Structure 1
Amino acid sequence: MSPWLRRAGTGLATALALSLAATPALADSYPSKPIRLIVPFPASGATDLLARAIAQKVSTSIGQQIVVDNRPGAGGAIGSDMAAKAPADGYTLLIATTSTHAIGPHITPRLPYNTETDFTPVSQVATATNLLLVPNSLPVKNVTELIDYAKKHPGQLNYASSGPGTVVHLTAEAFKAQAGVFITHIPYKGTALAIPDLMSGKVHVLFDSIVSGLPHVKDGKLKGLAVTSLKRSPLVPDIPTVSESGLPGFESDTWFGIYGPKGLPAEIVNRLNAEFNKAIQAPEVKDRLARLGAEPVGGTPAQFAAMVKKDSARWGKLIKERKIVVD
């Protein structure tokens, strides 16, 4: 063999070896700097509290800080859009919810992104029931009394939401439809911003996530009339479900999950999936989630995507039937 061919063969072999080594090297070297986790809702709300509880554990495990970045507004669309347009390098993630990825596509016709094609699913992390909250000043003690009061005072009650098109908004609309009552919608940029007005009686009803709503009930600042899951929450077994309180079959839960931008390399997806699954099963994180009213879920990216698709179809049906549109 000529020296030229020998050198060429050696060069090809070296290039092939480097190519084969590139994929595991990417996973091994990631992450090499802090990761931004976008929370598309305000600080101190359900999504924010849960994100911080999990991010702290993942940060310790991967040796890099996960920086929680609150970007509220437009029912979660502002923060979600930022994540969708970020580089697909694993250094910008999004904690999404039922509101952003199961409801948003059906209720907001001009979203600047496609929830199915502009994101890479990483893992579902938790689920939580919602809690029907009213101010202490409202003279009702249960769901039946709330419905009766609304019927006797048409147009006088209003409800807060974390923004048009959120699960908080749609849960209230589902409640109105099944109960046959009219309650005016007052949207906020997040439920944390609505809580003071609820306490003061400026707004009268809020279907908040139990994650952020329960502490105010425990402190005696608000009344929790019911939970929206089909079964009572073990965290508050004395609070009945909406279903058993006069609206049979009523159900609404909130899921939380991690996404990256589209095109996120599989090696990074798998690394992140493993880290988040491990974090939510850690005893201290499970305890923190339980105190927040959430349950860890986990699973594969494919399982997460399938769950979102099914949930999206359910909410899409309600939105179509109620003719709900957000401009």
Structure 2
Amino acid sequence: MRLIKSFVVISYILLFGGNVAAQSIANYPDRTVTIIVGFPPGTATDTVARVLAERFTNKFGKTFIVDNKAGQGGSMGSAFVAKAAPDGYTLVLSATAPLAINPNLYTNITYDPRKNFAPIGLVSWLPYVFVTNPKTGINTIQQLTEKAKANPGQLTYASIGNGSTSHLLMSMLTRQAGINVTHIPYKGSAQSQTDVMSGQVDMTFDTMLTLMPHIKAGKLKAVATGGLTRSQFAQDVPTLDEQGLTGFNAGAWLGLLAPAGTPKPIIDKLHKELNAILDDPDVIKRLNELGSESLKSNSPAEFSAFIQTEYTKWGQRVRDSGAKIE
């Protein structure tokens, strides 16, 4: 009799429990969704995340909120999501550093970007620009090189944290230029840029999104951009490649991910709406005004392959730089 009852209970769970789960996926989202950002408010990633949250909220009729969990070059936020329930209600807008650089740089990263996430889609490209305080008189890479070689270790540069993209790009610049410049890490863009503008630090290499307002206001001097071609947002600013650092080509990308194991129908649903958002002319214009270029991933599988490629590429750059953080 007990065996019969047990069989009935198990059959009920399998039949109706499965139906409930399928219905829950079909009705996704039916409550608040949190987009984790591993950087402080006001950074490029945070700004783009808030654009997405607003659009997802309007589309689905359920609230999408942004929660900042800053630290370890953006990796604290990614680590949090890697361990979250794979139900689609905790997502992460992550970037080059947490997914490609930091796992090769830090010795204590607790997640594997190639295994612990379900990629949804690429979101945007963030061009980087190298700037100086106008009072330094450094307006070209040649002037930077000459001044740095005449005063080894005396010039200073700010980054948004150890292991951040801004830190690694500046390490690449100084290594390729053969100069010694002292690194001063901060916990985000706002304070690092404030100190460069005030003259406490000489220079920084950060996203165009966060730096352009200060460049336009004349508070910072745009010396060079990080891509191989000039940015559409600053056509008058030469690239590092143009100024003698041959082949220098780097920036940052942003992508939306969920924890590994998130049901495929939820991933596909989010991917479809993400692409619709990134196709919206108003969103494209808004991202462009922020200094960010809208991207669109053809499929979650292609985004996954992209992460694999970036992981390998940046791993080599980290090894070349000799950087390692405990």
Alignment of 1:202-217 (within 5 A): 202-217=200-215
Are residue 79 (structure 1) and residue 77 (structure 2) matched?
Answer: yes
> Quick one: distance in 2 between partners of 1:115 and 1:33?
27
Question: 2:57, 2:149 → 1: CA distance?
Answer: 50
Q: For residues 201 and 71 of structure 1, what CA distance do their matches in structure 2 show?
A: 29
| TM-score (norm: length of structure 2) | 0.92
Unaligned runs of 5+ in 1: 1-7
Contact preservation (8 Å) 1:74, 1:189: no
For residues 108 and 310 of structure 1, the distance between their equivalents in structure 2, rounded to whole angstroms, comes to 19
Per the TM alignment, residue 144 of structure 1 is displaced from its structure 2 partner at its CA by 1.6
Cα shift at 1:239: 0.9
Specify the code of the residue in structure 2 equivalent to 1:245: Q
- TM score, norm. by length of structure 1: 0.92
Structure 1, residues 119-168: CA drift from partner, whole Å, max 9, x if none?
21111111121010111221111222112111111111121112111211
Instruction: Name the counterpart of 1:310.
Output: 309
Partner SS state of residue 244, structure 1: coil
2:119 is matched with which residue: 118, 121, 131? Answer: 121
Offset at 1:17? 7.4
Partner Cα separation in structure 1 for residue 168 and residue 14 of structure 2: 54
Counterparts of 1:82-97 in structure 2 under 5 Å? 82-97=80-95
How far 1:15 moved relative to its partner? 8.5
**Aligned residue number for residue 320 of structure 2:** 321
Within 1, Cα distance between the matches of 2:259 and 2:55?
22
Identity of aligned residues (%): 35
1:27 offset after TM fit, Å?
A: 3.3
Offset of residue 46 of structure 1? 0.9
Mapped to 2, the partners of 1:290 and 1:29 lie a distance apart of 33
Aligned to 2:130: 132
| Contact 2:114–2:307 (CA under 8 A) maintained in structure 1 | no
Counterpart selection for 1:232 from 215, 221, 230: 230
Question: By how many angstroms is 1:48 displaced?
Answer: 0.9
Secondary structure, aligned partner of 2:127:
strand
* Conserved 8 A contact 1:280-1:298: yes
Q: Which moved more, 1:50-59 or 1:175-184?
A: 50-59
Aligned-partner Cα distance in 1 for 2:22–2:82: 25
Which deviations, in whole Å up to 9, do the C-alpha atoms of 1:261-300 show, x marking residues without a partner? 1211111111111111111111111001111121111221
Tell me, what secondary structure is at the counterpart of 2:136?
Answer: coil
Query: What is the identity, as a one-letter code, of the residue corresponding to 1:224?
Result: A
Distance in 2 between the 1:319 and 1:87 partners?
32
Tell me how far apart the structure 1 counterparts of residues 112 and 148 of structure 2 sit (CA, whole Å). 38
Match of 2:289?
A: 291
What SS is found at the alignment partner of 1:213?
Answer: helix
Q: Which residue does 1:5 correspond to in 2?
A: none
State the alpha-carbon separation in 1 of the partners of residues 292 and 36 from structure 2: 20
Instruction: Map 1:151-300 onto structure 2 (within 5 A).
Output: 151-299=149-297, 300=299
Q: Which residue of 2 aligns with 1:40?
A: 38
Which ranges in structure 2 are unaligned for 5 or more consecutive residues? 1-6
CA drift at 1:180: 0.3
Give runs of ≥4 in structure 1 deviating > 6 Å. Answer: 14-17
Q: Distance in 2 between matches of 1:87 and 1:34?
A: 14
The residue type paired with residue 83 of structure 2 is K
Aligned partner letter, 2:27: S
Matched residues, number? 318
What one-letter code is carried by the residue in structure 2 that aligns with 1:322? S
Q: Does 1:51 align with 2:60?
A: no
Q: Which residue of 2 aligns with 1:105?
A: 103
The separation in 2 between residues aligned to 1:197 and 1:15, in whole angstroms, is 61
SS at match of 1:104: helix
Distance 1:23 1:296, change over 3 A: farther
For residues 275 and 21 of structure 2, the distance between their equivalents in structure 1, rounded to whole angstroms, comes to 22
